[in-house]
Amino acid sequence: MHHETIRRTLVQGAGDVPNSNSIAEATLSTWHQVAVRLVPVIGTRGVDALFNRSLHVTSKTYPWLAIDEHDENVAILLSGLQARIATRESIDAVEACHALLVNFTELLASLIGESLTKRLLITVWVPAPAESEQENKT
């Protein structure tokens, strides 16, 4: 997946004047869209496992993302994640959230392939302006 496409999705989702709260909301909104697209293909447990692994990998660079305990309840995990993101400076929040979503999509692509990953998630990511124009012409 294109890193800038993921960044563009987060920034657009966070609004005109992004702050750590809006970045947290945009990240969770994006995550929910990803989960909706993937659950029919790899199941809830598969999506949760990939997310937990991505969170673990990302927390190596952003230790404040690390979870203290492995919680089976994803809603509680996501709520805690949103709260941790919301306490950070905006630039730190967007970089960590971007890294989390990039790590997730790269891990997914390593398991099911880049092409299938792109097809499954294409509706989640905000395309570049040039891509949008081309899609409108076809």
Q: What is the tens place of the pLDDT at every residue in 96-112?
A: 999 999 999 999 999 99
CA gap 71, 110 in Å, rounded: 25
Cα–Cα distances (Å) from 120 to 71, 129, 133, in that order, read 27, 20, 21
Q: Hey, what are 51's tokens?
A: 């997310």
* Single pTM value for the model: 0.84
pLDDT in tens, 17-57: 778 899 999 999 999 999 999 999 999 999 999 998 999 99
Pick from 117, 107, 6: nearest CA to 58: 107
